[in-house]
Amino acid sequence: MEAHESNGGQAQLWNGSAGQAWADLQVLLDGMYRPFEPLLAAAVQGSDRRILDVGCGAGATTLALARRAGAGASCMGVDIAQPLIDLAWARAANEELRVDFACADAGSYPFEPGSMDLIVSRFGLMFFDDPVAAFTNLRRAARPGGRLDAIVWRSPDENPFMTAAERAAQDLLSLPARDPSGPGQFAFARRERVARILEHSGWQGIAIDALDVACGFPAHELARYLSRMGPVGRLLEGMDEEARKRILPQLERAFDPYLRGDEVRFDAACWRVRASA
């Protein structure tokens, strides 16, 4: 499908260094977030024939949904990052599943009205410039009674692993300040804000429940993860090799509390967001 975007700042970010980092670290990140796949795949019901995955990334969740839904269903994954959509298509080519992918802003994409039985997202809903307009667009894409089932991050304080690099780097690097209500990883940290956005965009039967999921990845991948991911990783990418070698060991020490043998282990503190159209 053709690209369709209006979320300009996020499109630039995710089609630049952020999207390329996720593409390059696809195997690591797929393993890290694999515990979420069965949670979202379990949302598929036998009557679901059209399923949408918002912020699908490299397609891991989309493919898991398609496997769960079976041959009679079709799944569409949408993401604003072309490098990730390219990866998703490449992965889908190896499986006989009815899947489609679009490089698009799901908040403004012209979905067929009333076409989706289920809309799912794993960490893909927090990046809209205008979340009420975006969730209104998604509601219109859902059939009457169609369901939303998504996972978003809770607060930075509840996710110390995700902010450890920034805390360790605050005296070493000039990091951009976080806008707690702007597009970004923790934009939906406050439960009441998520509920208000859904209510204002016409969703009903809203349920927002705390969810904690154990995640991890091989410890030998920590330096690569730190040097590419998030605001710290983006700054490190722009530095010379000598500076990176000086700073990285200091950042790695901040993750000592998360080392369990040959693995990095942490709990992801999330909201499970469910509603109906």
Interval 28-74: pLDDT, tens: 999 999 999 999 999 999 999 999 999 999 999 999 999 999 988 99
Query: So what's the pLDDT on residue 3?
Result: 40
Q: Comparing C-alpha atoms, which of 52, 55, 70, 62 is closest to residue 118? A: 52
Q: Is the pLDDT of residue 4 over 60?
A: no
Q: Is the pLDDT of residue 233 over 60?
A: yes
Q: How far apart are CA 252 and CA 268, in angstroms?
A: 19
Q: How far apart are CA 156 and CA 166, in angstroms?
A: 11
DSSP state of 163: H
- What residues does each domain of the chain span? 8-155+179-217+269-276
The pTM of this model reads 0.93
Residue in the structure block whose two tokens are 């996720």: 22
DSSP state of 86: H
pLDDT per position as a tens digit, 143-197: 999 999 999 999 999 999 999 999 998 888 877 777 877 899 999 999 999 999 9
**Average pLDDT estimate for 84-106:** 95
* Burial (CB count within 10 angstroms: exposed 0-12, middle 13-18, buried 19+), residue 118: buried
Q: How far apart are CA 258 and CA 239, in angstroms?
A: 26
SS (H, E, C) 192-232: HHHHHHHHHCCCEEEEEEEEEEEEEEEHHHHHHHHHHCHHH
Supply 127's token pair: 């990046």
pLDDT band at 7; cut points 50, 70, 90: low
What percentage of the chain has pLDDT greater than the value 70? 97
Question: Which CATH homologous superfamily contains domain 8-155+179-217+269-276?
Answer: Vaccinia Virus protein VP39 (3.40.50.150)
Q: Is the pLDDT of residue 141 over 90?
A: yes
Residues 55 and 185 sit within 8 Å (Cβ to Cβ): no
